[in-house]
A and B are shown apart, each in its own frame.
Chain A
Amino acid sequence: MTATKSDAMPDAPAVELGDLKVGFGKIRVVDGVDLTLERGQAMALIGESGSGKSVTLRAILRLFPEGRSRITGTLKVAGRDVLALSKRELADFRGRTVSMIFQEPLLAFDPVYTVGRQITEAIQRHEKVSASEARKRALALFERVRIPSPERRLDNYPHEMSGGMRQRAMIALALACRPQVLLADEPTTALDATVQIQILLLLRELQRDLGLSIILVTHDLGAAVEVADRISVMYAGHVVETGSAHQVVLDPHHPYTIGLLRSRAEGAMDKGARLQTIPGSPPDLANRPPGCPFAPRCFLAAERCRQEMPPVAEIAPGHRVACWRTEEAAAAFRAGESAREAVPA
């Protein structure tokens, strides 16, 4: 049985995660994530190192070995229940409905196959086309992602390309079977600053032209605003704030989001700077305290925060925050912003 695109419900959201939990052994790394990505939207996933961004992405493709991981909750892509797919269906689904762009393209390509061969391999895996037809498609993809002298570059081995070109080739590979959803895990972290921007712009262009739905993991808030329609902020395996890019950046309601924005404002604005300037460190996932996971580091933490998990509140349509003190947080942010404006830098 092959999964064709017509199997999917046409108006179901591109990705729907409901109370998604991912555990390795006793440790629950993703702890009840709710996210909805509409078709044709781009969502940025931000948060400190270890907050579960990559694990969430990999869970969507069920890339973890069955025996050593446990995934529960709702996990739907284009209306299809990913957790219910058989091995065979899962392999058909990967690369065809959803594909992934990895952080370090040099490591994500097989070093002993030419890049072109790795692309035609993906095409021929999912579609019954001749080798020469697949090669033509690969060439068109290389042209689409604007790799210079594409014909020649198809025969390159990964190590023969520059970092930026490799990431373009990775994008070409990800698009090879015309997927609906693209998952990009820090696609530009390994690249030079100027190349980073080019790759991000290319992703945005492709997303708009092809009507792709994208989840982009990034540490770079600037990139998130640039590329994404929506931003979701993760902390310790939870989504603590999600909303449109403007809602999250201009009107944040979660102290952690505010912390991220402030650390960026103070962190000399250099692109790609890691978000590590909030004092303290994330909780030990093996030993979660009751209540809000951010409480030990939160400037607004109250007694209740340490006792009870905060509920998710809908601040405005599509803007949801998991915090007991959203109004105080928003007010503190506004006060901080006006203070900053009053003192010109």
Chain B
Amino acid sequence: MLLYILKRLIYVTPVAFGVSVVCFLLVHLAPGDPLSAVLPADATQATIDEMRSAYGFDKPLPVQYAIWLWHVLQGDLGTSIATGRPVLGEVSRAVVNSLILASVATLIGFTFGTLFGFVAGYRRNSVLDRTASALSVFGVSVPHYWLGMVLVIIFSATLGWLPPTGAGPDGSGNWRPDFEHLRYIILPAVTMSVIPTGIIARTVRALVADILAQDFVEALRAKGLDEWGVFKHVVRNAAPTALAIMGLQLGYLLGGSILIETVFAWPGTGFLLNAAIFQRDLPLLQGSILVLAMFFVLLNLIVDVMQTALDPRIERA
């Protein structure tokens, strides 16, 4: 198993390298001059040139890349043009916040998704199944920023039970696992969990139905197992795929939550990316994308390793 993980880590290296090149080029291929956002409109050519060489934009691209990569490998993602603070700090704080939100949302999605999926898969074509299927179609197709606003209107504006935006009462944007902060995470997490709930429910339903139709289930009954005994086998067979789907959903949520983070002013990567794009803060943009992409690569790796550990039929070597 250890050998397998090592092997996977080696495979990942070229992928990570490619990702870094793409991240680097992305910013340089984008139209517009990155400096125009920070320089006054009437800046002289001399000032512009000075800034250019200060940020290293005057050197040829491969050299710029090498310098950038060298810094990145040392944990230096540069300085945000807009705030003047190190990008690494900004990004890691945002990543932590996003990770927390995405994890809570995935957990909610996984809980309800597997619940609905199992019920629907066991009782196919029953009323329960139809209801669960309808709910999951709704979950996957409803625009979630709209849902977020509806929830805010109901639970914050009308009922006043939950805070509408932010990550905590102090507004500082550092989430902590206490009661006050928990209240802030409920609305965005529930909103975000709707899609994974739907997707996980549909996948698990198909999975469970497929497992129940296999010959070995009849053989389990033939040796005297009751429904509970059979259920344990179904869970064990469904686990690798269900967990993989969960991992991938977590990945999607990490990368694709700009709209929800914006609606709820959640200080995560989506929020940060949004800010970086609108302020043309290129180092920040580059840094956040790189970190997010690496995160995705890592997550895929973890999902793979987990699946291999759980399913004896996958070759480990």
Chain A contact residues, CB within 8 Å of chain B: 61, 63, 87-88, 91-96, 99-100, 102, 104, 107-114, 121-122, 125-126, 157, 159, 173-174, 176-177
Contacts and interface: CB of A to CB of B under 8 A. Distances in A.
B224 interface: yes
A94 B222 contact: yes
A96 B223 CA distance: 7
Nearest to B311: A112
A91 B219 contact: no
Contacts of B59: none
Contacts of A122: 223-224
Contact of B218 (A63, A111, A159, A173): A63
A110 B223 contact: no
Contacts of B216: 107-111
Interface string B216-234: 1011111111100100010
**Nearest 3 interchain pairs by C-beta:** A95-B224, A95-B223, A107-B215
B219 to A, nearest CB: 4
Contacts, number: 74
Given A112-B312, A113-B236, A157-B312, A91 B220 contact: no
Nearest to B224: A95
5 contacts: A63-B222, A88-B226, A94-B223, A95-B222, A121-B223
B285 to A, nearest CB: 44
A8 to B, nearest CB: 16
Interface in B198-251: 214-216, 218-226, 229, 233, 236-237, 240
Nearest to A122: B223
* Residue with the highest number of chain A CB atoms closer than 10 Å, among B222, B223, B233, B310: B223
Contacts of B311: 112
Nearest to B229: A125
A250 B109 CA distance: 68
Contacts of A96: 224
A113 B232 CA distance: 11
Interface of B: 214-216, 218-226, 229, 233, 236-237, 240, 310-313
B222 A91 contact: no
Given A63-B218, A104-B215, A159-B313, A110 B237 contact: yes
Nearest to B216: A110
B313 A157 contact: yes
Nearest to A157: B312
Instruction: Give chain B's interface secondary structure class.
Output: helix
A111 B313 contact: yes
Contacts of A100: 219, 222
A128 B247 CA distance: 40
A174 B222 CA distance: 9
A91 B313 contact: no
B225 A91 contact: yes
Contacts of B313: 111-112, 157, 159
A167 to B, nearest CB: 13
A99 B222 contact: yes
A111 B237 contact: yes
Contacts of A93: 224
B227 to A, nearest CB: 9
B37 to A, nearest CB: 55
Nearest to B239: A112
Given A94-B222, A109-B219, 5 more contacts: A95-B223, A108-B218, A112-B236, A112-B237, A121-B223
Contacts of A125: 223-225, 229
B223 A99 contact: yes
Contact of B222 (A61, A112, A114, A157): A61
A102 B224 CA distance: 15
A192 B184 CA distance: 65
Nearest to B310: A112
Contacts of B312: 111-112, 114, 157, 159
A177 B218 CA distance: 18
B311 to A, nearest CB: 6
Contacts of B219: 100, 102, 108-109
Contacts of B223: 94-95, 99, 121-122, 125, 173-174, 176
Contacts of B310: 112
Nearest to A103: B215
* Residue with the highest number of chain A CB atoms closer than 10 Å, among B229, B237, B312, B313: B312
B214 to A, nearest CB: 7
Nearest to A119: B223
A89 to B, nearest CB: 11
A110 B218 CA distance: 10
B222 A110 contact: no
Nearest to B220: A110
Contacts of A112: 236-237, 240, 310-313
